[in-house]
Structure 1
Amino acid sequence: MSQHTGKAAANALAFPKIGLEYCDCREQSVAQKQVIVVGGGIIGASIAFHLVEAGAQVTLIEAGELGGIVSPCSFGWTNASHKNTRPYFNLRFQSMHLWDDLAARLPDIPYRKTEVLYLDGKTFDLDTFYANHTGWDYPLQWLDETQIRKLEPGLTVVPERGILSTAEGAVEASPAAVFFAKQAEAKGAWVVTNTEVTRLVMQGDTVKGVIAGDETLAADEVVIASGNGTKDLAAMAGIDVPMYSKPGLLISTTPVSHRVQRLILAEEVHFRQRADGTLSAGEDFGGGEINGNPEAGSQMLLERIRNQLVDPTGIELAGYTVGHRPIPGDDHPIVGRPVNRSGLYIAVMHSGATLAPVVCNAAARELLNDERDPLLATFGMERFSEAQVAASAAE
């Protein structure tokens, strides 16, 4: 079992092991409640951070390195954009506000409210998007071609009109996961990497802990926040989580001087420039021409970025990733306790970059105080019928 050293590692000595006698800590105070979080991506690490801040004793276990598997493949766009139901919009919009709050409190967090230019009239029905979302008090502004060029003089291809979102931004999802994990560790969490959870320890219908590496660890609560690994882990407790995944290509370029300030949603490519000067572009997580051949697709995306810019000098492909985004069966997050199981909490979603602050803050409160945030009312496991769960298990 690989573990980090320092103050957090010392806490491991006091973390109970399951043996012939189990130390049940459920009568202890919230400050002493022991929680194991499985998954070191942006959701798992953020839950660990919020739990530690609330006074819990936390162990964060990641099968690989901090940052997870899916988070490094995230485009990182934080938004409450089109095609959202009102409850899902509310959840995402609140999380955007919480990203701003975190950035004000923790200035080193890798998040920026960059603003976003919607110039893609093919992917987005811009008129409907504007009408619906401004009706929900989402800050959007129509711009004409002159105004767009004034904001982003480095763009070559500019439509006659577009929409500016002043509330949206971007987070570097994998570095943010590492940031949250390090913050949690500094506050006393035990962070364990390169260690796979191979079993959930059950007593009746209650999860009592995990077996990770050669250790058996006890806890009052076990949180599964393992992305695509969530389904298999939950199955260890007899829980079928309806979910699927889709591939998506993300490319990064060599670093160049300033080309664009905002995240740009152009018709041919959605891209942004990171703080280190690299440009990033992603393709829809749905397969197709680009995702079907990632090497050729990477070159296509690279050329599309170059075609969007007045100065493409020095923009070369630095690398690409193909990520498999974890998606719950109805495309909406699953956050909460499964029915008929105690000691277990599940958090899986395909929009972790946007949702991490609101979901993880709410999850910490629910885990420690049994307070269910109204924003999560429609996002629990109970919304899936027995038929849906059975169908998922048969796949």
Structure 2
Amino acid sequence: MEVGEVLHMNAGTGETSYSNNSHLQKKVISMTMPIIEEAMTNLYSSTSPSSLVIADLGCSSGHNSLFVVSELIKIVENLRQRAGHQSPEIQVLLNDLPGNDFNTIFKSLSSFQKNLSSQLEAKDAGPYFFSGVPGSFYGRLFMRKSLHFLHSSYSLHWLSQVPEQIENNKRNIYMASTSPPNVPKAYYSQFQRDFSTFLKCRAEEMVTGGRMVLTFIGRKSEDPINKEGSNSMWDLLAMALNDMVSKGLIKEEQMDSFNIPLYTPSLSEVKSEILEEGSFSIDRLEFSEISKSNYYNEHIMNHSDASGIAANSQRAVAEPLLVSHFGDGIIEEVFCRYKEIISEHVSQDQILLEIPNLIISVTKK
């Protein structure tokens, strides 16, 4: 599987689109806003730039794509007004893989800018320029020393590829309790290579003193095989796929050759890579959790609704990967069974686990 060609969130604005199933991701972004504001405040206060280049990596599409950008612009406008400065020109670079639904973002820009202008008190705010940058962030994306501020949320736990030599991870689609010992080792090695490459590329692209805030799903335990965060959800999806294998709807060899290109690191693993690469000083490296149960309580009234929302949330993320490997003929059946399995687990509170998040704020040396 060429991850760069097939990994993207479900496009559009339909029932199973990422746009309509990313409310939890927005809560995570909102949770990290104090750290984002701190980083931008420190950047502006130390440089008072006449122009700013801001990049959002893994922007996806939908309601969240421009949320951070909007907040960052408001922060800058408040800072420059307090300092009595002219409004800086701001260039916003929106990055994701080529299969991303950039069109939905571009179509929303006109209304976004009108809404933003109505929220800003100053008439001389801006101007703001927006560009889409398709490509993998595990390679160079921008000109050298061109970025002042970089943000990425819920993207860096995705790997550049499925780890090699894990053909023996049979009947699993990710690291699981039944995975052979070489599987978590291969996943960790792939994370090390990818995150190190990411840091090296950003170090070339950012100006000295530039800030970067990254948020991704992590884990509390040093053991990569655990039931934290998203791991349990992938286990449940594997159950649905294995059920279809037993019914002859999926070939066993297809199931055995499918693995998810994702790794949720611990704080120590992330810190080790940042220190090893050496281009960034760590301002904050924090662990926090967001409760799925609180999210479901805000949006639903019963367990049946919970299983439907959880299934659609996972489908918005996983469907393109599944279609690429198995074809689109099985998708409805997979997620119908997946919803049933989730429903069975909700009563045991297994789906309401809190999601561990790692938040990293660094400065380019």
Note whether the superposition's TM-score is higher than 0.5.
no
- Structure with greater helix percent: 2
Q: Structure 1 length normalisation: TM-score?
A: 0.25
Q: Give the structure with the higher percent strand.
A: 1
